[in-house]
Amino acid sequence: MNLLVQFLLTIILELIVVFLFLRKDYIKTVIYVFLINLFTWPIANLIYGMGLNYYAVEAGIVLVESVLFIVLFKMSSRKALLISLVANFVSAFAGRIIFY
Amino acid sequence: MKKVILLVFLLTFVVLPFVSADLITPGFEPMNIDNKISNFDDFSDYYLLTVCNPPMPRVSLIEGGVIGSCYKFSKLDVYVVKKSNFNLSELSSIENLNYTEFPEYIGQSRFKLVIDNAEHYKEVPVSSTQKSITNYYTIDLNQVKTSPDSKNVQRNWLFYAYIIIPIIALIIIIFIVWKRKKQ
């Protein structure tokens, strides 16, 4: 599947999760989620491609995205971690369904 | 509220079949690995042979130091044999050997194993930055090599994209935060 399509659909999934938690400033949310994924998605692929453990990469991305949620959305670290965890779990779960 | 949640879940399941994402194990694609012998010219008295083991046994002559390829599930070995002990016409008859005859044939004392189980096929994620791999072996008649002496990994354009795009994203994020603090 085209990598660009994969990337865009990842953003759609993460947006759905973020919209569930934050129901305000929709345009800002779309921009921020796009930027967050623009930062983490290529890094995740790069590191995973180098042979690092899938779950270790996943955990690292959850933490990095949490920090970015705190910085961009000005939310509590607890909420940021929860949103990041759910968003990445949903995308990872979707991937497992599709490829295994 | 319940309607929104229901709608979101429905939408999620509609897009699920198309998603391969960040930390989602993506699809895989095959990648060939080239194997080369760096000191090929030092063995002018020998024939160097690429030996593909069953399920698709095949023996081919190594020319110019480039080790031949095998069927992906075949184990690839390299043997040397003195030119005086080998008739090149034997090569064509080897393909007709069965599962028991082949190991017996290649197990003859005139053949000497120098590279055991060379990596020649790999599957990588479609998002991988690896384009191809070239392994270099330095043959030593007193040693059986199980790993290459050096390796050259060629990267595709994704490697640069995976570095440049996050940097751009980070710059924009820093700019947003900086601008917000300034206000």
In angstroms, the CA A15 to CA A33 distance is 7
Question: B119 in a domain, yes or no?
Answer: yes
Contact yes or no for A98 and B11 at CB 8 A: no
Tell if the pTM clears 0.80, that is, is over it. Answer: no
Least Cα distance to A41 among A81, A88, A89 occurs for A88
Question: B133 in a domain, yes or no?
Answer: yes
Number of domains in chain B: 1
Q: B134 to chain A, minimum CA–CA distance in Å? A: 16
Q: What is the dihedral of CA B114, B116, B121, B123, to 10 degrees?
A: -140
Nearest to B22 among A68, A91, A97 (CB): A91
Contact yes or no for A90 and B12 at CB 8 A: yes
In angstroms, the CA B148 to CA B40 distance is 14
Asked if B61 and B161 count as a contact pair (C-beta separation under 8 A), the reply is no
- Cα–Cα distances in angstroms (integers) from residue B100 to residues A73, B103, B104, in the given order: 68, 6, 7
Question: B127 in a domain, yes or no?
Answer: yes
Question: B89 in a domain, yes or no?
Answer: yes
Question: B163 in a domain, yes or no?
Answer: no
Enumerate the domain spans of chain A. Answer: 3-90
Range of the domain at B50: 24-156
Establish, for the pair of chains A and B, how many residue pairs have beta carbons separated by less than 8 Å: 137
Q: What is the pLDDT along chain B (183 residues), one digit of tens a residue?
A: 566 666 666 555 555 444 444 433 456 788 879 999 999 999 999 999 999 988 888 889 999 999 998 888 889 999 999 999 888 888 877 777 777 788 888 888 899 999 999 999 888 877 788 889 999 999 999 999 999 999 998 988 889 999 999 999 999 999 999 999 887
Residue A37 in 3-state DSSP? Answer: helix
Question: B106 in a domain, yes or no?
Answer: yes
Nearest to B19 among A3, A40, A95 (CB): A95
Contacts of B21 in chain A (CB under 8 A): 6-7, 9-10, 13, 41, 91-92, 94-95
Neighbours of B70 (CB within 10 A): 21
